[in-house]
């Protein structure tokens, strides 16, 4: 019945009032009262605690562990090492698809990065396990570690990000640069960053024969279950993963990680449930990070400020044993019009954990470099930065030539600039001071993020009492996905949200796809939308074929679902409740399934991106160089907005990440040892509230008829892009110092005229 | 964390007796000690909790105009004590510039003096550190040294003392009251912390078992109340240790400095009293030129201990600025962002960060 006309009717025909409402989070009361049970809050009977022992060298092998000392400590039950670790069905170093990464699960005594797990101590208490791990007092055969982006041997990777080409080009950039009236060539450096979700990676694992139950925060229930099924040689249905709440993920909880697998192995070893929670410092190694980059941009323009060429080259780092190449140069693919664009990547191998997807992978470091370079080019051209960007506005996607499915970037520029008060900004730097004598600068950046979709499934049910249930293994990372998806679900079944039972966060539900790539609402939402449509269509078929129904003979196209009833479209006086339809049919419930994925034809025909414009004000102490981002205004267009309150919150989070990127975040790697020496939240800075005194996110209207049935683009990552560059450009405007090393710190500004 | 003994003495004498045993450590709020125990950096055998000792939580105005602060007084309570903040505004400002509200609500005055360096190599058990493991070497040298010392360091140790609170205390001639098995003694705060020399593990004048029972601010220190500031440069607006900081306190008459007090933070293993700079200002015009000369004098002996030459210039600039701010007068209302260059006095007094 999936071909019934109703399923192809415009989405609004089945929408009640839920989509578009600024509903507060369903999980909010649970979280503020502490009632929400995160993974590590579970304590099954007989549970033991596991603590990791991790390597303090970055390369070499473990030559000694004092097992007797650890085992003799009161409360210690077992120590898992390569010698006694239960077998896996699959080599953890195997790699059969781009979303599969090598992990360290005690397969041998090699050490390939600092903080790599080298043993697991399992004990009756966390304290005993922790002390047991300390008592192992490992010794090593250490080898010289390579930790310097500038010193390691450079290679050209076969692919970047999740399987994208390492180099792409259109037009002749050499000719474009040669013909340019003005040109710049500038290099920017960004540091390694770590996700640092508030909730550390955690797992509670319990075996029952060959069945495995785990509680762990994950951004991708089905993908994790599939990976674990492979590693443990189990049918996927033998594994049940619960992940109702995540205390942040940012990409580091997207894929199976070594510590998570070690928790399961530990439970196997001791035959009891085991809990393993990473310490903060242990998150700097085995669970991914954003790699450092050195990016060189070459831009040329004609005499009028139109780009003639844009080259973007990135040198970045991956680990010594696996490949994830931060696709930073690709930030230049879709934003500014240029007759010639060339992007390329090179990489070195460092003795670190493997870098990983981190919120706006590629886009975040790529954007700060591109937006800085655009600002530098505007300066060279003697143009206002916004005027320069409008001059190079892309009417079609520059690399592909495809039309945009929708693009309200002009409106973002206009609304953001008006709200911020951009007009009248002096073009030269160091022109503005506040009453206290602080330098004031204004900068801007353009935000862009692709509108992606993965594959997701959902099931929708209408019950005898007229209530609904929607089931999907979706992930709520704290951003409110459950709330937004429940809004879509309520509308998909024509029900008041209070009449809807929304079930999510468990792997035994239909696969909702991974919560990443800013694609979760679109993917899971499309699946829910389709499942609801299927269910309503089945219900409508029952009613319209039943001579006792007031809807008899209406034809499916003539029925609208709303408020728990089906109405004849041409005569709304004729309607019947869901409950009555099911009762007469003698059915306890009626269900339908649906899936969500990118439409290949739409993808082939259109370039799909969300856009935005971010305007930043910074104040800088002229002598001391202390910087504060005093005001940010972002205006974003991302298709249909399901829940403006949650979307605004996502934009705030992204903009704060942008401030963090520009001014705060940096993993400090000791190049001698390969160790991150600020692996704690006191020394690894992210902004505090006092760093973000004023923040505004504007939702710019945008209707996208192509991107998916609901017109949803993604909002989870876009606001980092644009924001980081806007802050950097504002620092230049305040001081005349052009930031090219991030984060910008007071010592950088010492050379600026005081 | 290893197993340890926990004792809670009721009197100073009991505490000193309990802490005389090898491996004993005094516990205040534990905001630093417990962190270091979790990391395995410190492994005390016995914790002597001094928070229940009667009288240690008192803030007393002394008959001579000075004040005496018990070692267990919490940072937040002291900063919000109107009498104290009125007499020693730079000290209150420094207290509120440290850590976060949550930590200030727990941390104690005595513990603040005894907090350990933030040197990453001290915190890292796999790194050589002469402070943690005497004779093992100093991994900080040749390492990541942006935050390390530029004054008073030695080849054996380049760590800094991280306290904000101690900086104005050193400037204002605060006195530390110390109890030991032999009775009470006193020490000037400016000399309380040891420079590393060839014994960086010795961080203070305390002998094993000795307990800080109180701090005393002399009456003379209140004479600077009208012109006293603490200024802190940091890499985020709150909850960050100082890159460099400075306390400046002046007594002015007819546009001239009659007496100056200057100390720097984040530059050495102790809060760094800049006596030469103070001497230069005595009798000088209270103007920018004089403050610039004083700032230069304060850093005359500074030299980088690694890739941190920028700190010397930043320290110079912050001394000059702190002097300028002090000369312009202690704000009537505490700045919303205490000790921040962004704290315009008219911002109000909500010290919430």
User: What single string gives the DSSP state of each residue in A16-27?
Assistant: -S-TT--PPPTT
* Residue A752's pLDDT band (cuts 50, 70, 90): low
Which residues of A lie inside 8 Å of B (Cβ-Cβ)? 56-57, 127, 130-131, 134, 435-436, 438, 619, 621, 623-626, 628, 663-664, 668, 670, 672-673, 675, 677-678, 682-683, 685, 687-691, 743, 745-747, 750, 754
Q: What percent of chain A has pLDDT over 90?
A: 94
Instruction: For residue range A639-676, list pLDDT tens digits in order.
Output: 999 999 999 999 999 999 999 999 999 999 999 999 99
Residues A609 and A745 in one domain: yes
Order of all β-strands in the sheet with A139-142: A110-111, A60-64, A139-142
pLDDT for A1 equals 30
Q: pLDDT band for position A557 (50/70/90)?
A: low
B125 interface with A at CB cutoff 8 Å: yes
Q: Is residue A332 part of a domain?
A: no
- Domain limits, CATH 3.30.43.10, in chain B: 5-52
For residue A525, the 8-state DSSP code is: H
Domain that includes residue A531, residue range: 5-36+455-597
Q: Do A459 and A589 reside in the same domain of the chain?
A: yes
Three-state SS sequence of B236-247: CCCCCCCCEEEE
Q: B116 — contact with chain A (CB < 8 Å)?
A: no
Considering the domain B5-52, what is its CATH architecture? 2-Layer Sandwich (3.30)
Q: Does B234 contact A at CB distance below 8 Å?
A: yes
B224-339, CATH topology level: Enolase-like; domain 1 (3.30.390)
Tell me the average pLDDT across A293-313.
Answer: 98
Strands (E), A692-751: 695-699
Residues of A designated as active site = 717
Q: Is residue A74 part of a domain?
A: no
Evaluate the omega torsion of the peptide bond into residue A708 and state whether it is cis, within 30 degrees of 0: no
Beta carbons of B146 and A628 less than 8 Å apart: no
Query: How far does A21 lie from chain B, in Å, by closest CA?
Result: 33
**What value does the mean pLDDT take over residues B221-232?**
98
> Both A615 and A737 in a single domain?
yes
pLDDT (mean) for A70-88? 98
Is A217 a member of any domain? no
The CATH number given to whatever domain includes residue A534 is 3.30.365.10
| Mean pLDDT of chain A, nearest integer | 95
**Which residues are bridge partners to B233 per DSSP?**
B244
Instruction: Name which of A289-298, A493-502, A727-736, B344-353 the model is least confident about.
Output: B344-353
Q: What six digits make up the tokens of B237?
A: 């607006």
> Could you report the predicted ipTM of this complex, rounded to two decimals?
0.96
pLDDT at B353 over 50: no
Q: Are strands A293-301 and A307-319 parallel, antiparallel or unpaired?
A: antiparallel
d(CA B258, CA B282): 5
| DSSP code for A115 | T
CA dist., res. A148 & res. A129, Å (int): 35
Judgement on whether residues A467 and A575 belong to the same structural domain of the protein = yes
Query: Is A487 found in the same domain as A409?
Result: no
Asked if pLDDT for residue B350 goes beyond 70, the answer is no
Q: Specify whether A445 is located in the same domain as A494.
A: no
Q: Residue range B65-93: average pLDDT?
A: 97
Q: Report pLDDT for A13.
A: 42
DSSP A91: -
- How close are the terminal C-alpha atoms of chain B, in Å? 31
Q: How confident is the model at residue B351 (pLDDT cuts 50, 70, 90)?
A: very low
Residue A754: is its pLDDT beyond 80? no
Q: Which residues in A lie closer than 8 A to residue B160 (C-beta atoms)?
A: none
pLDDT in tens, A701-729: 999 999 999 999 999 999 999 999 999 99
Instruction: Read off the pLDDT of residues A567-609 as tens digits, 9 standing for 90 and up.
Output: 999 899 999 999 999 999 999 999 999 999 999 999 999 999 9
Rounded percentage of chain A residues whose pLDDT exceeds 70: 97
Q: How many domains does chain A have?
A: 2
- Kindly state the average pLDDT of the residues A27-39: 94
Using a CB-CB cut-off of 8 Å, the residues of chain B touching A628 are 237, 342
Q: Does one domain contain both A468 and A589?
A: yes
- Put simply, whether B102 touches A (Cβ < 8 Å) is no
- pLDDT confidence of residue A227: 97
Alpha-carbon gap: A590 to the closest alpha carbon of chain B (Å): 53
Classify residue A423: in a domain, yes or no.
Answer: yes
- Say if residue A574 is in the same domain as residue A627: no
Q: What is the pLDDT of residue B343?
A: 75
Interface contact A746-B340, CB threshold 8 A: no
Q: What pLDDT is stored for residue A556 in this prediction? A: 56
Length of chain A: 754
At B329 the pLDDT is 97
Please tell me which residue of chain A has the smallest CA distance to B314. Answer: A624
Per CB-CB distance under 8 Å, the chain B contacts of A683 are: 118, 120
Give the strand pairing for A500-504 and A559-562.
unpaired
| Chain A residues with beta carbon closer than 8 angstroms to that of B342 | 438, 619, 621, 626, 628
CB–CB of B114/B166 below 8 Å? Answer: no
Q: Give domain status of residue A560, yes or no.
A: yes
User: Do A736 and A649 share a structural domain?
Assistant: yes
**Residue A592 β-bridge partners:** A460
B184 confidence band (pLDDT: 50, 70, 90): very high
pLDDT of residue B1: 56
Hey, of B32, B121, B235, B240, which one would you mutate to test binding to chain A, going by the most A CBs within 10 A of its CB?
Answer: B235
Last residue of a domain, one of A554, A573, A597: A597
Q: Smallest Cβ distance to A691: which of B236, B313, B321?
A: B236
Confidence at residue A427, expressed as pLDDT on a 0 to 100 scale: 97
Contact flag B314-A626 (C-beta cutoff 8 Å): no
pLDDT digits (tens, 9 = 90+) for B90-147: 999 999 999 999 999 999 999 999 999 999 999 999 999 999 999 999 999 999 999 9
The residue among B120, B139, B307, B346 with the most chain A CBs within 10 A of its CB, best to mutate, is B120
**If you average pLDDT over every residue of chain B, what do you get?**
95
A676 in Cβ contact with A669 (< 8 Å) = yes
Position A666 in a domain: yes
Q: Which of A597, A614, A642 is the last residue of a domain?
A: A597
Pairing state of beta strands A154-155 and A293-301?
unpaired
Is A643 domain-assigned?
yes
SS3 at position A717:
coil
Which one of B140, B244, B299, B341 makes the best mutation probe of the A interface by having the most chain A beta carbons within 10 Å? B341
Catalogue the E-assigned strands of A395-498.
Answer: 432-433, 439-450, 456-463, 468-472
Task: Tell me the C-alpha distance between B193 and A519, whole Å.
Answer: 56
Which of A597, A631, A655 terminates a domain? The answer is: A597
pLDDT at B344: 59
Are A750 and B239 within 8 A, CB to CB?
A: no
Phi, psi of B77 (to 5 degrees): -65, -40
Q: How far is B68 from chain A (nearest CA, A)?
A: 31
A551 and A662 inside one domain: no
Does a structural domain hold residue A549?
A: yes
Distances, alpha carbon A298 to alpha carbons A303, A309, A362, in Å: 16, 8, 18
Does A608 share its domain with A664? yes
Nearest CA in chain B to A751: B310
Inter-chain residue contact A678 with B120, CB threshold 8 Å: yes
| A127/B341 Cβ within 8 A | no
């Amino acid at each position: 019945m999936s071909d019934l006309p109703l399923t192809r009717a415009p989405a609004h025909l089945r929408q009640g009032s839920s989509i578009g409402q600024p509903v507060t989070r369903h999980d909010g009361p649970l979280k503020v009262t502490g009632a929400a049970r995160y993974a590590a809050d579970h304590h099954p009977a007989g549970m033991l605690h596991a603590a990791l022992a991790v390597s303090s060298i970055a390369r070499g092998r473990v030559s000694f562990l004092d097992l007797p000392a650890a085992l003799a400590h009161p409360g210690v039950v077992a120590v898992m090492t390569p010698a006694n670790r239960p077998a896996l069905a699959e080599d953890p170093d195997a790699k059969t698809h781009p979303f599969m990464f090598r992990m360290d699960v005690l397969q041998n005594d090699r050490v390939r990065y600092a903080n790599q797990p080298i043993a697991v101590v399992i004990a009756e208490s966390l304290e005993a396990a922790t002390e047991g791990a300390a008592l192992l007092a490992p010794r090593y055969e250490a080898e010289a570690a390579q930790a310097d982006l500038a010193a390691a041997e450079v290679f050209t990777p076969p692919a970047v990000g999740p399987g994208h080409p390492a180099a792409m080009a259109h037009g002749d950039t050499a000719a474009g640069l040669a013909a340019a009236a003005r040109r710049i060539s500038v290099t920017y450096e960004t540091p390694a960053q770590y996700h640092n979700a508030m909730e550390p990676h955690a797992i509670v694992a319990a075996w029952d024969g060959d069945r495995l139950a785990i509680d762990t925060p994950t951004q991708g229930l089905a993908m994790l279950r599939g990976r674990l099924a492979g590693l443990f040689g189990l049918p996927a249905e033998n594994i049940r993963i619960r992940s109702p709440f995540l205390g942040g993920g940012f990409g580091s909880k997207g894929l199976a990680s070594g510590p998570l697998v070690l928790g399961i192995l530990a439970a196997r070893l001791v035959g009891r449930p085991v809990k393993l929670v990473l310490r903060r410092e242990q998150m700097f190694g085995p669970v991914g990070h954003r790699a450092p980059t050195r990016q060189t941009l070459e831009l040329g323009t004609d005499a009028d400020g139109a780009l003639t060429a844009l080259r973007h080259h990135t040198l970045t780092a991956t680990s010594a044993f696996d490949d994830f190449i931060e696709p930073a140069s690709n930030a230049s693919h879709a934003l500014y019009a240029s007759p010639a664009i060339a992007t390329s990547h090179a990489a070195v191998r460092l003795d670190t954990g493997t870098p990983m997807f981190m919120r706006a992978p590629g886009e975040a470091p790529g954007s700060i470099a591109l937006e800085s370079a655009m600002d530098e080019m505007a300066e060279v051209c003697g143009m206002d930065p916004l005027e320069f960007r409008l001059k190079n506005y892309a009417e079609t996607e520059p690399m592909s030539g495809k039309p945009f499915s929708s693009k309200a970037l002009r409106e973002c520029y206009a609304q953001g600039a008006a709200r911020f008060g951009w007009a009248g900004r002096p073009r030269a730097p160091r022109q503005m001071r506040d009453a206290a004598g602080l330098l004031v600068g204004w900068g801007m950046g353009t935000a862009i993020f692709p509108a992606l979709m993965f594959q997701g499934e959902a099931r929708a049910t209408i019950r005898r009492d007229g209530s609904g249930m929607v089931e999907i293994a979706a992930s709520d990372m704290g951003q409110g996905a459950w709330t937004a998806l429940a809004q879509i679900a309520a509308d998909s079944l024509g029900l008041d949200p209070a009449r809807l039972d929304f079930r999510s966060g468990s792997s035994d539900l239909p696969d909702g796809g991974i919560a990443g790539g800013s694609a979760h609402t679109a993917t899971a939402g499309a699946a829910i939308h389709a499942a609801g449509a299927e269910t309503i269509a089945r219900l409508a078929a029952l009613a319209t074929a039943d001579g006792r129904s007031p809807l008899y003979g209406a034809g499916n196209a003539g029925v609208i679902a709303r408020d728990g009833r089906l109405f004849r479209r041409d005569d709304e006086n004729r309607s019947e409740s869901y409950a009555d339809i099911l009762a007469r049919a003698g059915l306890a419930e009626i269900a339908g399934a649906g899936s969500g994925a990118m439409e290949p034809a739409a993808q082939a025909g259109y370039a799909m991106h969300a856009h935005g414009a971010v305007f930043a004000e910074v104040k800088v102490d002229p002598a001391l160089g202390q910087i504060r981002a005093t005001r940010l205004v972002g205006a974003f267009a991302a298709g249909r907005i399901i829940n403006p309150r949650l979307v605004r919150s996502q934009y705030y989070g992204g903009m704060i990440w942008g401030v963090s990127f520009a001014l705060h975040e940096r993993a400090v790697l000791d190049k001698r040892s390969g160790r991150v020496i600020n692996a704690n939240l006191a020394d690894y800075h992210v902004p505090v509230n006092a760093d973000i005194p004023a923040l505004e996110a504007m939702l710019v209207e945008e209707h996208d008829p192509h991107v998916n049935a609901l017109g949803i683009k993604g909002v989870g990552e876009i606001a980092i892009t644009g924001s980081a560059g806007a802050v950097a450009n504002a620092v230049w405007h305040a001081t005349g110092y052009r930031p090219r090393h991030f984060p910008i710190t007071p010592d950088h500004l010492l050379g600026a005229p005081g | 964390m290893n197993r340890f003994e926990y004792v809670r003495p009721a009197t100073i004498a009991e505490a000193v007796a309990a802490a005389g045993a090898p491996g004993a450590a005094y516990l205040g709020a534990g905001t630093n000690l417990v962190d270091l125990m979790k990391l395995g950096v410190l492994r005390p055998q016995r914790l002597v909790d001094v928070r229940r000792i009667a009288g240690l939580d008192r803030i007393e105005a002394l008959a001579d105009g000075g004040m005496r602060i018990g070692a267990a007084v919490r940072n937040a309570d002291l900063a919000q004590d109107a009498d104290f903040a009125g007499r020693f505004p730079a000290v209150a400002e420094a207290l509120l510039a440290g850590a976060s509200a949550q930590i200030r609500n727990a941390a104690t005055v005595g513990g603040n003096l005894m907090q350990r360096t933030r040197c990453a190599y001290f915190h890292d058990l796999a790194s050589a550190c002469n402070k943690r493991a005497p004779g093992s070497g100093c991994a900080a040298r040749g390492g990541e040294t942006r935050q390390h010392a530029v004054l008073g360091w030695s080849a054996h140790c380049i760590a800094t003392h991280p306290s904000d609170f101690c900086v104005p205390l050193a400037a204002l001639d605060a006195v530390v009251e110390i109890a030991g098995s032999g009775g009470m003694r006193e020490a000037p705060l400016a000399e309380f912390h040891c420079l590393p020399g060839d014994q960086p593990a010795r961080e203070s004048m305390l002998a094993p078992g000795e307990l800080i029972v109180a701090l005393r601010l002399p009456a003379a220190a209140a004479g600077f109340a009208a012109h006293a500031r603490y200024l802190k440069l940091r890499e985020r607006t709150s909850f960050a240790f100082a890159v460099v900081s400075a306390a400046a306190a002046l007594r002015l008459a007819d546009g001239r400095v009659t007496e100056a007090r200057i100390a720097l933070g984040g530059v050495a293993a102790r809060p760094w009293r800049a006596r030469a700079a103070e001497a230069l200002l005595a009798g000088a015009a209270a103007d920018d030129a004089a403050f610039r000369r004083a700032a230069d004098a304060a850093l005359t002996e500074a030299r980088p201990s690694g890739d941190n030459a920028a700190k010397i210039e930043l320290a110079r600039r912050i001394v000059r600025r702190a002097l300028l701010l002090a000369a312009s007068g202690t704000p009537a209302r505490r700045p919303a962002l205490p000790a921040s260059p962004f704290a315009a006095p008219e911002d109000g007094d909500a010290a919430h960060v």
